[in-house]
Structure 1
């Protein structure tokens, strides 16, 4: 997992190690899980603890009476006792392993090279033995849903053994004609998952032999082509999650691949991948070193490595998320373990959302569809959690941990985060902000509305009369730990919750306005916004993480969720909220520079939004040189892919930001023109109250901020195909640390303003297909 090279089509994936005597292909299917349940009734399938709502007042009472710690009547204990599901979440499962033995002696090999071309999605191995030259190619086709491998030999012959196995005990392997057939089951607590894998071997001018152990033998060949495809019986249908005719699908895809042949499959695949890779191209100014990737990492931070990391991470996005019905997980698509770290599941307190930040800005919007389809399942399942756990009759709710079977309940591990719907919905609306597709907005509006409806009923008045979310936590962090232990995490009205509820309500109001519906509901949300608890600046000048001033300046926790309004939110900005920005700077300094992979990536984005390019670059340097394995997978022992994706998002934020809106197009300065989501309380200056969005916000132009956080180390460079909200693609070039030129291409009819070098342009209107040329 730390050395092999990955390829995939968003559903089916593999890693190749490039072994000389034996190639090991690790095969995965993004929908393939184990150790959970499916096929229960619709309520039970959600995982919810039945009739928790009957005790919900007891749970809240513990909060109201400040029962900290872990005692029997504590917030922690009461939440666990009455709200936590005991249903097994399960884990992402390995699929199969394929072994291709060559009989080659590694000590006799010269000129060995293993490579992966991220632009074409082709893996390659080549080496010499004596006068013989051996090559291999690997790819995974999205258009044809098949893995293809080719072995060739010049001035030599190939003698190969192709075999397969799986870590799942219940399986059978046979060989028939050109095929190696593996059928099996992955163990579930309820309703095992059936699957099949087919391998087809074209021995060319060689001889093909069936072995008794189910493997195939190739002898005396010079050109061997191997095709693989596989499916399980999983379908994204709640609550059965079953029904695919996996054997028929496997056979049909294989027949198509064999008829097309290797060269046609490869041509179609390369055209598909390269078109996506070409949509966004970063070109920093460096002289190629000629070093292999592992040597480049060992050498330390370099612009060459930073450029490579950006392109490679976009390739990982293409490979792990396309049109499958579930999104990329903590490990993207790749897993070889029956018990992967953190279940390789879906963590809803940043990780799954971070996986999709860069699809918008780095121009891979087609990769977003799995997230949308998964969210539809969560919204359906989460209705039962809202009712059974909290007694909320409208809307839906989802806890911290998720799987592919619609698990939405708070579980024992994630009991402290009962509600993450607002966080997940942020990505949904952002996708509309970038594409301006009203058909898409109509499709996802019920999910947005359902999330908002839940909070309308779930919010409750606190002692000061303001509306807060509780029970809750501030993801994974603790407070007053010396007095009440490190498990003292439960709280009320955490800053991140309050920020995201405002964000969700604002998005829901805009969506309903654009779609011209739910006028009464819009008004209700506007009224509730006025009552939401304010954001607060604490005793050290920091953004308060909790409703009370419990922050410690020595707290260097990896989560900084209480700055979510800075990023990926849009409501804290140096250009519009200077006091909150100063407080965010204090928080960032308190949290320090030591981070895990995904946290390093988030800090890259935070500092970019604070317009500190050199500090943002410092974290990106650390991510690429100190938090990367030899295969550039993010180092979050053992591996989490969110660091790769979050890092690319951070680079995009350094070069272009478009989250601010111009609500006053006559204003000449950005602070006067932009919508501001928080206003200072004149009676309590360290309190900042939410602002009710006017429905005119739905028509407000986005402000395109060019080079908002350009690092001094990147004095020259260019990027093509960045995406901006409002439906625009932006090309930017710079020299000597200054903007040279920019081109804004309209993908739909729209208007925008440009902010560059401290100046705000007039409103610029473009028709679809038109381009605006801009120079400093």
Structure 2
């Protein structure tokens, strides 16, 4: 009997592990109709098909019975933009705009609100906004595989994706015959691979390659399909090639004149796909890859390795990354398909699966490609996708990379660094030509893969994004303490700061503000000037980010022992930045003027960026600002889009309200998810997936506070505080850090916002700032143990159950075990 119980427990454990990583369905995804292709708002394939990817090359499979549709993406394939211009024009900047910059600023200084002629928006649009097309991320190619199986004859159909191994599969029966498919997208070998096999039957397939773009040639010869095409650009079409090789053993393969391969009476069919564009991240040409030779060599190498070797290398690669971090809640699996699990409503099983799936999506759409994940990550089937599937710098691009640090996928950050190097090179031209600023670089609201950094076409969307983008850049150092990396990115950080140092200008009270700017994407004085009255000066979010950037640059210059004069100048500027203010309703003011409305429920809450992902508002160190942030959160309410729900999850975690954070994560997983668990903005945006999981990590571990007073026993005396209250006012002045900030230990706050819905559980492999990895277990809502492993020589303090520890110092690979008292 005891042996039987042990077996039962083991089986239950295996089922639960599978449930944590497995997306399952009992029917195929909806086919991609022409209407859906032309209108991203129509649900279907993109919301149901399952994604594969290696960071550059992506695929989705429908699992269709009579016909399988494999949609392919290459993250470098854009269209309707320009490349290869001269260095200045390639940035997108309006040539000579700087000559009218002060004229534009005069509209701000004289507070010309609204959108009429002469207003801040109108002047920005007329004199500063780019006249170049941004273009859009584009679908790549498709593969259609016809089986001629009758769906009405099929039984025992299953379609699944194992997020731990990165293997997709389809299984079904027709009578006594069993049919099986496998799909994966290999990072080690840069190919998409499929396998069709049968028991008690043979397979007849028709394999066709196509593209929504212009096909310049399509040839079927022997076992090989080769498709060449080009994506329309304003001046220089993107060239690409896809190669599809079919191995059917001894079965007959026929190549026809329509560019199709026919397979007859096979038992086992393996399909290999290689594909590339001519894109290279070389500013300003953005071309030069020998895509045809690369496609040929990559395919040849894959064929020499064979299916089993490719699959084994792929599984080892994906599972090793997935195994770096594991979130485990206690629940009994409901044994539902994933679509039914979502329809069933909130559950711990769904919350656990969502966490693991988001990590899979992250490593699938961002590895070492030349450009980072976009609004849709890697996957897009529309020639005109929502919001161009571009790079939005007013939250979305940054949010895509929050979880790579905490959820232990740091290798996924490489494309972000690559992109920022291009942006900094392009942005120096925008800084000079748009604003007349000789030092540093600037980035506007929207970006593409061709170095577009210019101000947006709409003047109401004027934004400088360098500080926001650099926040992630420095955070990557904070988590790793890798000085070689910091040396590499330091010129980007410094360049962003140099731009702001010159761009800041005194306002009415003499404090320094950023303008033109806005508070994404909100309006003010709506009754007087309309809902498009968005342009402003000194928006709180950008002032907070400027402080964040300047502080990071000070630390970086100390760590690298360089630029002492630059550092000193930053220190003098910081206290001159316009203060953060608490307004008439007790809220954090969104603008320097008290324009906030308590009935404003806008999805953006950018003026709390110092709470998250910043570090300068905290319940432990700034009680007045925290209380004001709570008022702001109450005003904004609980109604949210996908990414906004994710951000609110993080906000509430940083406010140490686990149940409220869980409420939003629960809503995100059950009400803001399509059947394939893609985030439902609506429509699809992947930042919700990534931001939500970042929020889970924040519920379990926070490490953004620094101990600058290591002798202090109370955290409010120990931690660095970025703002100090101006006596007898509601103003909080930015504070210059002391040089000891560079060596100040990070404070690890264990289970800062554990929800009551998660009474028992564990997490392993969370990353903390300071070069640390942390495993945590808890029971009955209380910490039982934390294991802290140093990934470099480091020091830290622990804050748990209201108590602050001494400073602990560890050498690389040493472990500190902390148990609840």
The TM-score normalised by the length of structure 2 is 0.94
Structure 2 residue 313 is the aligned partner of structure 1 residue 246: no
Q: Tell me what 1:397 maps to.
A: 442
Deviation at 1:695, TM superposition (A): 1.2
Deviation at 1:212, TM superposition (A): 1.3
Structure 2 residue 475 is the aligned partner of structure 1 residue 430: yes
Deviation at 1:413, TM superposition (A): 3.9
Q: Measure the CA separation in 1 of the matches of 2:720 and 2:382.
A: 48
Q: Tell me what 2:317 maps to.
A: 272
Map 1:312-351 to 2 at 5 A.
312-351=357-396
Q: Tell me what 2:802 maps to.
A: 758
Q: Tell me what 2:32 maps to.
A: none
Counterpart of 1:652 in 2: which secondary structure?
A: helix
Q: Measure the CA separation in 1 of the matches of 2:396 and 2:708.
A: 32
Map 1:181-196 to 2 at 5 A.
181-196=226-241
Q: Tell me what 1:12 maps to.
A: 57
Structure 2 residue 671 is the aligned partner of structure 1 residue 630: no
CA contact (8 A) 1:330 1:352 kept: yes
Structure 2 residue 579 is the aligned partner of structure 1 residue 534: yes
1:435-479 deviation digits (Å, cap 9, x = unpaired): 000000000000000000000000000010000000100011000
Map 1:5-404 to 2 at 5 A.
5-404=50-449
1:175-194 deviation digits (Å, cap 9, x = unpaired): 11111010011000011110
Q: Measure the CA separation in 1 of the matches of 2:115 and 2:308.
A: 63
1:679-731 deviation digits (Å, cap 9, x = unpaired): 000142x0000000111100000000000000000000000000000000000
Q: Tell me what 2:27 maps to.
A: none
Q: Measure the CA separation in 1 of the matches of 2:374 and 2:461.
A: 21
CA contact (8 A) 1:469 1:493 kept: yes
Deviation at 1:417, TM superposition (A): 2.8
CA contact (8 A) 2:68 2:144 kept: yes
Counterpart of 2:699 in 1: which secondary structure?
A: helix
- Which of the residues 672, 680, 687 maps onto 2:717? 672
Counterpart of 1:545 in 2: which secondary structure?
A: coil
Q: Tell me what 2:814 maps to.
A: 770
Q: Tell me what 1:523 maps to.
A: 568
Q: Tell me what 1:743 maps to.
A: 787
Deviation at 1:211, TM superposition (A): 1.2
Counterpart of 1:530 in 2: which secondary structure?
A: helix
Map 1:305-704 to 2 at 5 A.
305-413=350-458, 416-684=461-729, 686-704=730-748
Q: Measure the CA separation in 2 of the matches of 1:405 and 1:431.
A: 24
CA contact (8 A) 2:431 2:437 kept: yes
Counterpart of 2:145 in 1: which secondary structure?
A: strand
Q: Tell me what 1:729 maps to.
A: 773
Deviation at 1:526, TM superposition (A): 0.3
1:193-229 deviation digits (Å, cap 9, x = unpaired): 1000000000113111111101100000000000001
- Which of the residues 716, 720, 724 maps onto 2:760? 716
Q: Measure the CA separation in 2 of the matches of 1:375 and 1:143.
A: 25
Deviation at 1:349, TM superposition (A): 0.3
Q: Measure the CA separation in 1 of the matches of 2:741 and 2:236.
A: 49
Deviation at 1:415, TM superposition (A): 5.2
Residue correspondences, number: 775
The TM-score normalised by the length of structure 1 is 0.99
1:329-351 deviation digits (Å, cap 9, x = unpaired): 00000000100010000000000
1:637-685 deviation digits (Å, cap 9, x = unpaired): 220000000000000000000000000110001001000000000142x
Q: Measure the CA separation in 1 of the matches of 2:723 and 2:573.
A: 15
CA contact (8 A) 1:401 1:414 kept: no
CA contact (8 A) 1:205 1:223 kept: no
Counterpart of 1:251 in 2: which secondary structure?
A: helix
Q: Measure the CA separation in 1 of the matches of 2:502 and 2:551.
A: 17
Q: Measure the CA separation in 2 of the matches of 1:336 and 1:256.
A: 29
Distance verdict in 2 for CA 1:692–1:482, change over 3 Å: same
Counterpart of 1:493 in 2: which secondary structure?
A: coil
CA contact (8 A) 1:400 1:414 kept: no
Deviation at 1:374, TM superposition (A): 0.1
Q: Tell me what 2:4 maps to.
A: none
1:504-554 deviation digits (Å, cap 9, x = unpaired): 000000000000000000000000001100000000000000110000000
CA contact (8 A) 2:393 2:469 kept: yes
CA contact (8 A) 2:460 2:518 kept: no
Q: Measure the CA separation in 2 of the matches of 1:254 and 1:216.
A: 17
RMSD, aligned CA? 0.6
CA contact (8 A) 1:399 1:414 kept: no
Q: Measure the CA separation in 2 of the matches of 1:101 and 1:428.
A: 46
CA contact (8 A) 1:116 1:124 kept: yes
CA contact (8 A) 2:122 2:459 kept: no
Q: Measure the CA separation in 2 of the matches of 1:124 and 1:596.
A: 32
Q: Measure the CA separation in 1 of the matches of 2:407 and 2:459.
A: 31
Q: Measure the CA separation in 2 of the matches of 1:309 and 1:682.
A: 47
Counterpart of 1:2 in 2: which secondary structure?
A: helix
Counterpart of 1:440 in 2: which secondary structure?
A: helix
Q: Measure the CA separation in 2 of the matches of 1:7 and 1:632.
A: 13
CA contact (8 A) 1:752 1:765 kept: yes
Q: Measure the CA separation in 1 of the matches of 2:517 and 2:667.
A: 32
Counterpart of 2:518 in 1: which secondary structure?
A: coil
CA contact (8 A) 1:83 1:415 kept: no
Deviation at 1:237, TM superposition (A): 0.2
Q: Measure the CA separation in 2 of the matches of 1:71 and 1:37.
A: 31
Deviation at 1:277, TM superposition (A): 0.1
CA contact (8 A) 1:159 1:219 kept: yes
Q: Measure the CA separation in 2 of the matches of 1:550 and 1:240.
A: 45
CA contact (8 A) 1:52 1:388 kept: yes
Deviation at 1:169, TM superposition (A): 2.5
1:46-65 deviation digits (Å, cap 9, x = unpaired): 00001111111111110111
Q: Measure the CA separation in 2 of the matches of 1:451 and 1:649.
A: 26
Q: Structure 1: any 5+ residue segments left out of the alignment? A: none
Deviation at 1:414, TM superposition (A): 6.8
Q: Measure the CA separation in 2 of the matches of 1:463 and 1:759.
A: 44
Deviation at 1:579, TM superposition (A): 0.1
1:576-634 deviation digits (Å, cap 9, x = unpaired): 00000000000000000000000000000000000000000000000000000000000
Structure 1 consecutive aligned stretches of length 4 or more whose deviation exceeds 4 Å = none
Q: Measure the CA separation in 1 of the matches of 2:457 and 2:173.
A: 55
